[in-house]
Amino acid sequence: MINLINKYKNIILLSIGLLLIIISIILIGYDRIELIKSNVFDEVELLKYKENNKKEQENIIDNEDIIDDIDTDIINDENNIKKTTINKREYIGYLEIKKINLRQGLVSKNSYYNNVNYNIQIIKSSNYPNEENGNVILAAHSGTSSISYFKNLYKLEINDEAKIYYKGKIYTYRVNNIYNVPKTGVVIIKRDIYKKTLTLITCTKNSNTEQTVYVLNLISEESDN
């Protein structure tokens, strides 16, 4: 029996190797298909968002819930787990960072899809861009999967810019501060509370114990024609 195994050892190892290669190709192909599907969905939703903007440009009404100001700007991960009734994946705006070739839709804070496992997440304690001296707080995965929208965020530097398209306006922000914090479930945001701010949060590159926080200040606000 042992002699028989030794005789066909190379064939067995080759077969196992080929099987592992086939499995790897299938997994890579699946992730690629999911990424293509996501990109197609985003393109369709972007067209819908722009079309809706044209219709609402003349009479914009802010009917979103206004949250209380939080002076300390503390995010607790437990607050991110929410029960919602809005299950339709419909974008209310877009985040664009040209330097890292990112353009991704944002859903309402009450949406089922407002979760890092589906999309860029608007944190529950976040403001919307049109709120006075508010802080738009966004979080997303880094890594290599199709939902790792912040995988290239580490390339951002001081003075780089990001834009949010929301309710017929373009809000342009500039990076003012970048710092790391321990991954403890709580993030303290260091910002000027008298300025409109955009905060981006993701896992620190090449670290399993830290998160990186990018704080951007608003530098311009213009109509999205």
Over residues 153-167, the mean pLDDT reads 97
Q: What is the pTM (predicted TM-score) of this model?
A: 0.66
Burial class (CB within 10 angstroms; exposed 0-12, middle 13-18, buried 19+) of 51: exposed
Asked whether the predicted pLDDT for residue 55 surpasses 60, the reply is no
Identify any residues that bridge with 97 across adjacent strands, giving them in sequence order.
102
Q: What is the pLDDT of residues 169-179, one digit of tens each?
A: 999 999 999 99
Across the chain, what does the average pLDDT equal? 78
Beta strands in 2-80 (DSSP E): 74-76
